[in-house]
Amino acid sequence: MKLRFAMMAAAGALMSTIAMADPVTITMYTFYTTDVPFYEKVFAAYEEQHPDVTIDIQTFENTAYDAALRTAFASGEVPDIICVEPDARAVGMYPLIEADLLKPLNDLYGSQGWDKLFFPSVLDQLDVDGTYYSIPVDVNNFSLFYNKTMLDKYGLDLPHSYADLQHMADVLGKDGIYPIAFGNQFPQRGRDYFYMLAGQLDHSIITDADSGDISWDDPRLVEAAQKLKDMADDKIFMPGINAMSIPQGNDAFLTGRAAMVLSGPWDVKPFTAGKPDDIELGVMRFPPVFDGVTEGTSPGGVGKNYAIPAGGKHIEEAEAVMAYLLSEDVMKQYVADRAIMAPYAAANVDISDPLQKAFVENQESNVVPRVLLNADTLDALGNAIQGVLADEVTAEEGMQEVEDAR
């Protein structure tokens, strides 16, 4: 009787504790507005399982997000989960780390097994002197989409060397078609090309330059910048690079004015829907363009990235929400719903689209890092590549400008 009474008393105390638990609202800041319908769906399921937890998603346009984040940190009323980018852009995580504003997440990585589950390239990118401060919810890489139907029509094989690209330019050029559409009006794409070509010479060279182990005017980096100019001069790229936006370059590819375009997995669905029905598309790594280099490259890394502010009021609950968001079932839904790639292989196993699968295969191999931590260098590199392509500066002068901006 005493044992039964004790058990009943314990159960009553537990029920009382649950009933008296204070409701918690987890505030999440993001600038990825297109993901919000998915988040609302999966977080509604989480709230059903945790009736004392409400997740409030607050969205901002890119231009307003940085200001909103600064205001929140300045006021001390910080959100519980924030979206950050793993580089030196306006909402990059590194200034926040340097200011001790983000919570280290090594314990969470260990408890969830992420330190062994995530792709090695993801862990390498997010490891800051042995500490993880953020959690990736997707990854990406760049490869060439190609118009297989066009190549077959002109009797062209996939390019595997610079000579192959030159041959493609000669054959297609007779009909006013170019091998590659390249929109660099906003210099991000020029940087991506540069990372990719430099990575063919030395996989870690961009990281080494960013960290100061080598200078930005290293001869290999100059060679990579010059190769971009050579490709423009040899009409491998469609003219008007710096005046062409990324959407305009994509349109040139889809309308048959270029045989290939560099992009990522986010364009699989738009390209598939936007192409003519009789056109077959493929995806390949960018071919080697230097003598003695035999392997193509694909630059890539973490896409969307979330962190937990150190001053948040609900850190434990925020970690639980992030663990849920990265769980295999939820990530599989995310991959299917948004046509993205998860940061670990098990969540990508249901991908069936051959174009999407090609990007997964690239990610599982060794992608070239495309991250810079120095904001001044990031801007200077974009400007330098635009200047080289416009013949305003030499490759040597452009890379010296990047080094001077360090």
Name the nearest CA neighbour of 391 among 240, 229, 223.
229
- Whether 265 and 306 map to the same domain: the answer is no
**Locus of tokens 């997740």:** 55
| DSSP state, residue 258 | E
Domain count, the chain: 2
14 pLDDT more than 80: no
What is the layout of strands, in order, in the sheet containing 299-302?
Answer: 139-141, 299-302, 368-369
- Whether 257 and 400 map to the same domain: the answer is yes
- Report the CATH number that the domain containing residue 188 is assigned in CATH: 3.40.190.10
- Whether 86 and 131 map to the same domain: the answer is yes
- Whether 106 and 206 map to the same domain: the answer is no
pLDDT tens digits, residue range 370-388?
A: 777 677 888 899 999 999 9
Q: Please give the helix or strand (H or E) that residue 84 lies within, else none.
A: strand 81-84
- Whether 160 and 39 map to the same domain: the answer is no
Confidence category of residue 11, pLDDT binned at 50, 70, 90? very low
Confidence category of residue 97, pLDDT binned at 50, 70, 90? confident
- Whether 285 and 149 map to the same domain: the answer is yes
Return mean pLDDT, the chain: 90
pLDDT tens digits, residue range 63-81?
A: 788 889 889 999 989 999 9
- Between 328-338 and 315-325, two packed helices, what is the crossing angle to 10 degrees? 60
- Asked whether the beta carbons of 334 and 342 are under 8 A apart, the reply is yes
Measured CA to CA, the distance from residue 174 to residue 384 in angstroms comes to 32
Domain that holds residue 231: 141-298+369-404
17 pLDDT more than 80: no
- Whether 210 and 341 map to the same domain: the answer is no
Task: Please compute the mean of the pLDDT values over residues 168-175 and round it to a whole number.
Answer: 98
pTM given for the model? 0.84
Task: Please compute the mean of the pLDDT values over residues 296-316 and round it to a whole number.
Answer: 90
**Cβ within 8 Å of residue 305, ≥6 positions away:** 83, 84, 85, 86, 93, 126, 134, 135, 136, 137
Residue 85 pairs in a beta bridge with 92
What are the tokens at 250?
Answer: 């994509």
- Whether 209 and 110 map to the same domain: the answer is no
- Whether 262 and 390 map to the same domain: the answer is yes
The radius of gyration computed from the CA coordinates of the chain, to the nearest angstrom, equals: 24
- Asked whether the beta carbons of 86 and 125 are under 8 A apart, the reply is yes
**Helix, strand or coil for residue 40?**
helix
**Cβ within 8 Å of residue 97, ≥6 positions away:** 128, 133
- Whether 179 and 232 map to the same domain: the answer is yes
What are the tokens at 286?
Answer: 């960018």
- Whether 61 and 156 map to the same domain: the answer is no
State residue 146 phi and psi, 5-degree precision: -130, 150
Measured CA to CA, the distance from residue 130 to residue 123 in angstroms comes to 10
Q: Please give the helix or strand (H or E) that residue 283 lies within, else none.
A: strand 281-284
- Whether 247 and 383 map to the same domain: the answer is yes
What are the tokens at 35?
Answer: 């993901």
